[in-house]
Amino acid sequence: MKIQFLGAAIAPNARLVARFVNQDALPADLEPVLAEGAKRARFSGKAGQVFEGFAERGGNVVRAALAGIGEASGKDRKGAIERAGANVVAKYLTSGETALTLDLTGAGLTAEEAAGALLGAVLRSWRHDVYRTKLGADAKPSVTEISVVGAPEGTEAAWEIEQAIGQGVSFTRELVTEPANIIYPESFVERCKARMAGTGLTIRVLDDKDMAALGMGSLLGVAQGSIRPARILVMEWLGGVEGEKPVAFVGKGVTFDTGGISIKPAAGMEDMKWDMGGAGAVAGTMLALALRGAKANVIGVCGLVENMPDGNAQRPGDVVTSMSGQTIEVINTDAEGRLVLCDALTWVQREYSPAKVIDLATLTGAIILSLAHEYAGLFSNNDALAAELNAAGDASGDRLWRMPMGSAYDKMIDSPIADIKNVGPRSGGSITAAQFLLRFIENDTPWAHLDIAGTVWTDKAGATWDKGATGFGVRLLDRFVRDTLEA
C-alpha cells in the first residue's frame, strides 16, 4: 500500500474520501445530505462505526465515508483510531476504487495517533494471493494507495517508524502463510537473507554439521526424520551502546509438524505449516528494528527444523543429549518444540551472554484451552521482565497473560532414566513445557517464554488482520525494545 501526504487540500479528482469522526461530533462543514444520512443511519462516531454516502463536490460525485473513533478522552483512544483506519480499508479494499483519501482534518489526532491509523490501514490491507490464479475481479484488492490530508505536524516522521513495524508484521505473516513445501529450514533462511539484505542486519547460519559439533542432540533429534536439514538462523542488530549486553529473542521454527512417530490426526494437520510462528515473529521483529534503526542491541535466533516420520525418525522412549549436557527422555515426539528451543537457548546464552532472553513458540495446545485465542501465555523467572512484557502487550495490542510456574510442576517432568522427560501428564501441559525450558536457562538470566499457539493464526478476521496469519509478536517485541532498551 502506497502512502502519500498531501497537506491540507483534497485532490479535486478524489473519488473515495474517508473522514474520522469523534463520538457525537459530526463535522459542521459536512454536506447536509451526508449529515442527514449519518443521523438516519444512527451513526454517532462510536468506535468501530463506518457510514457511507455520496456527495457532489466540484461537479464530481464523491464516495464519502465517515469512520468513528469514539470519545476524545476514550480509554483506548489509540487502539480505536488504529481500528478506524483498518475498518475503512477492510470496507473498500476490493470495492473497485483504486485510491483512498484519508481526511484527518478536525479529528484532533496526535502525530502518533495519525500514524497508528495508517498502520491499521496497511496491516488490514495485507493479503497473500500468490497462489490464487482464478480470483474474480471483484475479489481482487483494488485500493493501492492512500493519500493523507489534514495530518497533524510530525505525522510523516511518526509514520517512518510505524511503516517499519508494518513491514515487519507483513514479513512475519508471509513466512507463516507460505506452505511447507515452500518454506522449510533452508528456504526460511534464504527468504530472510533476501528480505534483510541492505538493512544493516548481520546474518549468521549454523548448519546441521555445525550443530552436531556443538552437541545439539536435542534439536537434531527432531530433524532426523526429515530430508530437510536443520538450520539455526542468527540475526544481529547492534544499534545500541557498543559493548552493552544484547537482549536475545529466540523463536521456535518447526516449518512443518506431523508429530513425528507420535503422529497427529490427519484432520487439521495442514495447519501445522504455521508451527514456525515463533521464528516468523522473531524474523519480522528483527526486520522492523533494522528498518527503523532501533537504538538497541538485539540478537534474533530461529531454530529451524521439520518434524517428519520416517525410518530414521526418533522414537518415543529415545534418550538424547542436549547442548547443555542434560539428557532428555523423549516420551512424545510431538512435543518437539521444546527440544528445538532448549538447544537454541543454550547456544545463544553461551555465545552472547545476553542480558535477557525471550523465546516465542507455538508450543502447546494446552495454552489455547487456557486462554483461547485472546492472549498468549507468559511464563517467566523474573517479575520485572514479566511486568515489562505485560506492559508492552497492553500497549501494542499483542496481549499476554502471565501463567504460574514452580517446583510442583517441575517434578512432573522428572524422568526415571534421564535428567528430564519432554512431557508430563495431560494436566498443566503449557506449564510443564515452560518448566522444561527453564532448566536450560543458565546463571539466573532473566527469561520469559511466550506460548503463542493461540494467537499466530485465526479462522476469522480481526481488527487489523484478515483470516490467517496475524503477525502476532512483532509489535509486542518492538514495543518492549522501545520501552525498555531505548527509553
Where in the sequence numbering do the catalytic residues fall?
Answer: 264, 338
Stretch (H or E) spanning 305:
strand 297-307
Closest CA to 411 of 446, 386, 451, 438: 438
Per-residue CA distances from 457 to 269, 273, 306 (Å)? 14, 11, 19
Q: Which conformational region is residue 156 in: left (phi greater than 0), alpha (psi within -120 to 50 degrees), or beta?
A: alpha
Instruction: HSE, CB side, 13 Å, CA atoms: give it for residue 474.
Output: 32
Instruction: HSE, CB side, 13 Å, CA atoms: give it for residue 188.
Output: 43
Give the list of residues 6+ apart from residue 229 with CB closer than 8 angstroms, or none. 185, 186, 207, 208, 223
CB 269 within 8 A of CB 455: no
Q: Is 141 exposed, middle or buried (0-12, 13-18, 19+ CB in 10 A)?
A: middle
Please give the Cα distance from 344 to 302 (Å, whole number): 8
Q: Which residue type, as a one-letter code, is found at position 177?
A: T
Q: Got the DSSP string for 205-267?
A: EE-HHHHHHHT-HHHHHHHTTSSS--EEEEEEEE-SSTTPPPEEEEEEEEEEE--TTSPPPST
Please give the Cα distance from 233 to 248 (Å, whole number): 13
